[in-house]
Amino acid sequence: MIILFVVLPLVVAGILPLLGKVSRRVVPDLLANATLLFLFVYAAVAGRPLIAGGPVLQQLSWLGEAVNIRLALDGFSLFMLLAVSLVGLAVCLFSVDYMERYGAKANYYALLLIMIAGMNGLILATDLFAVYLFLEVAAVASYALVAFGLGHDELEAAFKYLMLSVVASAFILASIAVVFGMTGSLDFAAVASALKELNAGAVVGVASAFFLVGFGLKAALIPFHAWLPDAHPSAPAPISAVLSGLLIKVSGVYAMTRIFLNVFGLTPALSMVLMSLGALSMVVAAFLALGQKDMKRMLAYSSISQVGYIVLGIGIGTPLGIAGGLFHLFNHALAKGLLFLTSGSVQQATGTRNLDEMGGLAKRMPVTAATNLVGALSIAGVPPLNGFWSKLIIIIALIQAGHPVFALIAVLASVLTLWYYLLMQRKAFFGKLNEKWAAVKEAPFWMTAATVLLALLCVGIGILFSSTVTTWIQPAADVLADGVHAVIGSWGF
Amino acid sequence: MTDTWYLYLFFSAALVFAGLLGLLARRNLIKLFIAIEVIAKGISLLLLGTGFAKDNVLTAQALVVTFIVVEVSLVATALALIINIYRQTKSLDVRKLAKLKG
Amino acid sequence: MIVQTALLVGLVLFSVLAIVLRDLLKSAISLAVASLLLGIIFFRMNAPYAGVFEISVVAGLITVLFILTIALTGAGDEVRESRLVNWVFPLVFVAFIVIDALVMKGLLGKIPALASGGETGSFGDVLWKGRTFDLVGQIAVILAGVFSVLALFRKRDKHD
């Protein structure tokens, strides 16, 4: 029953506000966390045996009659489902204490669950239009979540985000319409085999360009990144964590990768474009992050930079490069989620996000400081944390594939990353304690629990990286490295 | 066959371009969203025109209906945002929305 | 063909009016007229359901929402649009139309397409049997819209 990944969060989201009338806090907290815990356990435990015999294409039946809901689960989608439910769970735990001051908790959880359902639907979809539709489901929920605080900044950021995101969807849908006109079909497998038959290089190029603009806007790659440094910092901290950790990856990177690698097929030109965009994002965003005073804004620029790494890795197109890109996607989801959550703890304790006003907070908030340090070092790529291994794999893959210049850029960007994260550590957590914060206390239980969970995972995956790669990343990378054949061959065609 | 497709593609491209120009040129928040609506019209014409030209009207029609449903919930969200912005700033000028920078 | 082309020209004309007109109420109404024309175009393309949706939902409901917003926010008179843009907009638009007319035909000639096997069955069959997953998505997107509006109009009791 793969469809549970979509339907369960939706159903819970539908009934939450009704139950929220009965009990304002406990029931929504419990129900939302239980839902995400269930999805996580389901993905982690039941998923791998399910796809042991190859990808499954599930056709649903309703009251004994076959209904045409086709969902496909292969290594790549299972991997993404795991990432979504894991970060979703941590965020949901964090929200128990953090969202207390915003009010309307049931409504908040409902929107969060709808966003998760939208992402899961996108991951399981087997046709182009469903990709657009679920992208929009997650996006509509995210507009409201960015504006959830209803302050001036939140509203401004949400409006800008909405405008650019709608334009992105328009580009994506225009491209889908052209492909539909050309092949007369929307199904991934049917489109892939039809395109192979047609041999329509030029038009596929135009469609790819449209997709690139659309998904590039969603993933906030550098020329299309304007909305992200506004939207992600303005959202409540757990939502920043979901947006940066998951949404840009699912609706940008996942959708783009699935379509480019499994449906269109990765041409050398496209590979070059992806790698250049990735390298550009990596470097430019790292420089922009250096100059930031606002903690969350710095993290937001860092997200753009790290998405650059992911796109660079996947863009290489070799099995090792894809594996590295996907591994970095997972590690960045964990670590950036962790960093945004700790920034939320700091903001709640001190009421500010300005790095210059902080200082010495490690003495007052030891757990938050320690977990933040783990996340920062992981993203910066310090061994033995998980981020180190994924960056190493990407760089090795770049050298193997004969792109030493890109490899050099990746190393340099990594140094820059370490630099601005150390800057953040020094300004916020170390140094002399600013006497303003003498009365600051450690964050409440559930907030620290969520950050500790993610920090332990960062360390654990770093130590056990080889087994993580073989059990989770490799099956996902295999699907993508198989290219167009994966979809045509195994999805019932 | 191609002529029909040409006709609809031509007009939907014109609509999408008019909307994009409007997005760049206008400063009133509601006007900006009207421009978005014009883009949406272009896209739905593109979808149905493609289906019509390629003998796939039924599928295209299903897509357009879904697209309209998405549009409604998008419009509701966006207009709620605009009303909230107006309550905060007492203005619909997009230039007043420039606090976030850097 | 001629009627259809005339309808399409009207659609573009009213859409451009909706963007160019100074008065918000007038531009909302032009947008509604454009939707109405689009609905009629859909009818003439053998897509009655899309036509009905376009007319009732987009020309009806969305226009009502727009007018409601305009009423709640005042006319937005204080927003001064730049004068330069009023001149540039039609020029650029006409230029684009010319390019569109010249390029699009050649571009389309290059698109190879599979011969499509015409569909059979009714709209209901296609929607229910062919694209059932979209219905789940529709429900999800409606829920998202409802909760978004609820969240944005909630009473701010404790927020700082």
Closest CA to A302 of A235, A225, A354, A370: A225
- What is the model's pLDDT at position A306? 92
pLDDT band at A265 (very low <50, low <70, confident <90, very high): confident
> Which of A50-54, A148-152, A165-169, A351-355 is predicted most confidently?
A165-169
1.10.3470.10, 3.40.50.1820, 1.10.10.10, 1.10.287.3510: which CATH number matches B2-93?
A: 1.10.287.3510
Q: What average pLDDT does chain A have?
A: 87
d(CA A328, CA A162): 28
Query: Closest to A158 (Cβ–Cβ): which among B5, B81, B89?
Result: B81
Chain centroid to CA A244: how far? 6
Query: Is C122 strand, coil or helix?
Result: coil
Burial label, C158 (beta-carbon count in 10 A; 0-12, 13-18, 19+): exposed
Q: Tens digit of pLDDT for each residue in A193-243?
A: 888 887 777 788 888 999 999 999 999 988 888 888 888 888 899 999 999
A contacts of C160 (beta carbons < 8 Å): 101
Most distant pair of Cα atoms in chain A: their distance: 71
To the nearest whole angstrom, how far is the Cα of B34 from the nearest Cα of chain C? 7
Average pLDDT for A60-88? 81
At residue B35, the pLDDT reads: 93
Q: Tell me which of 1.20.120.1200, 1.10.630.10, 1.10.10.10, 1.10.8.60 is the CATH number of domain C2-80.
A: 1.20.120.1200
Which of A133, A153, A162 lies closest to B66 in CB terms?
Answer: A133
When the pLDDT of each residue in chain C is averaged and rounded to a whole number, the result is: 82
Contact A170 B39 (CB under 8 A): yes
- Structural domain count of chain A: 1
Q: Which of A132, A133, A156, A179 should one mutate to test binding to chain B, selecting the residue with the greatest count of B CBs within 10 A?
A: A156
Region A367-386 average pLDDT: 89
- Which tokens in the block code for residue C109? 């000639």
| Residue A270 pLDDT exceeds 70 | yes
C112 in contact with A, Cβ within 8 Å: yes
| pLDDT of C77 | 62
- Tell me how far CA of residue A185 lies from CA of A177, A321, B10, C13, in angstroms: 10, 31, 22, 32
Preceding peptide of A366 cis, ω within 30°: no
What ipTM, to 2 d.p.?
0.94
Which of A74-78, A148-152, B41-45, C111-115 has the weakest average pLDDT? C111-115
In order, the DSSP letters of A42-96 are IIIIIHHHHTTTS-EEEEEEETTEEEEEEEEE-HHHHHHHHHHHHHHHHHHHHHH
Q: How far is CA A191 from CA A75, A127, C66, in A?
A: 21, 9, 39
Which candidate from B35, B61, B91 shows the least CB-CB separation from C49?
A: B61
Give the best-scoring range by mean pLDDT among A93-102, A326-335, B83-92. Answer: A326-335
Spatial separation of the C-alpha atoms in residues A242 and A228, rounded to whole Å: 13
At A127, is the secondary structure helix, strand, or coil? strand
pLDDT at residue C113 greater than cutoff 90: no
Per residue in C35-45, pLDDT tens?
999 999 999 98
Q: Where are the alpha helices (DSSP H) in A381-464?
A: 386-400, 404-428, 445-463
The confidence score (pLDDT) of residue A187 equals 86
CB atoms within 10 A of CB A412: 13
> Residues A317-334: pLDDT tens digits?
888 889 999 999 999 999
3-class DSSP assignment, residue A112:
helix
Higher pLDDT, A87 or C117: A87
Contact B59 C126 (CB under 8 A): yes
Residue C116 pLDDT: 59
Query: Residue A375: what pLDDT?
Result: 92
**Which of C132, C148, C152, C157 is the best substitution to test chain A (most A C-beta atoms within 10 A)?**
C148
Spatial distance between the Cα atoms of A221 and A215, rounded to a whole number of angstroms: 9
Q: Does A57 touch chain C (CB under 8 A)?
A: no
Out of B20, B88, B100, the one facing A230 most closely (by C-beta) is B100
Whether residue B81 lies within 8 A of chain A, CB to CB, comes out as yes
What average pLDDT score do residues B8-13 get? 89
pLDDT of residue C158: 45
**pLDDT > 90 fraction of chain C, expressed in percent and rounded:** 33
E strands present in C13-88? none
Residue B27 gets which letter from DSSP? Answer: -
Distance from CA of C127 to the nearest CA of B (A): 6
Q: How confident is the model at residue C114 (pLDDT cuts 50, 70, 90)?
A: low
CB A323 within 8 A of CB A473: yes
Over residues A25-34, mean pLDDT: 85
Q: Enumerate residues 45 to 84 of chain C having a beta carbon within 8 A of any beta carbon in chain B.
A: 45-47, 49-50, 53-54, 57-58, 61-62, 65-66, 68-70, 72-74, 76, 78-82
**Minimum Cα–Cα distance from B80: chain A residue:** A144
User: CB–CB of B82 and C92 under 8 A?
Assistant: no
CB distance C97 to A168 below 8 Å: no
Domain residue limits, chain B? 2-93
DSSP letter assigned to residue A467: H
Q: Which domain holds residue A191?
A: 4-490
CA–CA dist A328, A477 (Å, integer): 12
Phi, psi of C117 (to 5 degrees): -75, 115
Instruction: Please tell me which residue, C68 or A57, carries the higher pLDDT value.
Output: C68
Give the closest-approach CA distance of C141 to chain A in angstroms: 5
Q: Is B18 at the interface with chain A, CB within 8 A? A: no
Task: Kindly report which listed range (A223-232, A363-372, C125-134) carries the lowest average pLDDT score.
Answer: C125-134
Cα–Cα distance list, A379 to A42, B22, B60 (Å): 28, 40, 44
CB contact under 8 A, B102 and A292: yes
| DSSP string covering C87-111 | HHHHHHHHHHHHHHHHHHHHHHHH-
Q: Do C140 and A137 touch (CB under 8 A)?
A: yes
Q: What pLDDT sits at residue A491? A: 66
The predicted structure's pLDDT at residue C159:
45
Q: How many CB atoms lie within 10 A of CB A123?
A: 26
The pLDDT score that the predictor gives to residue A64 is 62
The residue whose two tokens read 């309703």 is: A62
SS3 A187: strand
Residue C157 has pLDDT above 70, yes or no: no
The Cα of C93 is separated from the nearest Cα of chain B by a number of Å equal to 7
Cβ-Cβ contacts under 8 Å, B93 against chain C? 78-80
Q: Please report residues of A whose CB lies closer than 8 A to that of C106.
A: none
Query: Residue A56's beta-bridge partner residues?
Result: A73
Residues of A in contact with B35 (CB under 8 A): none
Q: Provide the shortest C-alpha distance from residue A88 to chain C (in Å).
A: 17
- Residue A65: φ, ψ to 5°: -105, 140
Residue in B closest to C17 by C-alpha: B18
C-alpha distances in Å from residue A316, one per residue of A299, A311, A313, A323, A439: 26, 9, 6, 10, 51
Interface check for C102 against chain A (CB to CB < 8 A): the answer is no
Distance CA A114, CA A116 (A): 5
Cβ-Cβ contacts under 8 Å between B and C: the total is 228
* Contacts for A201-210: CB closer than 8 Å, 24+ residues apart: A201/A267, A202/C110, A203/A178, A203/C110, A203/C111, A203/C112, A204/A264, A205/A269, A206/A178, A206/C107, A207/A175, A207/A178, A207/A179, A207/A264, A208/A175, A208/A260, A208/A264, A208/A270, A210/A171, A210/A172, A210/A174, A210/A175, A210/A178
C117 touches chain A (CB under 8 A): yes
Query: What's the rounded Cα separation, in Å, for the pair B95 and B29?
Result: 10
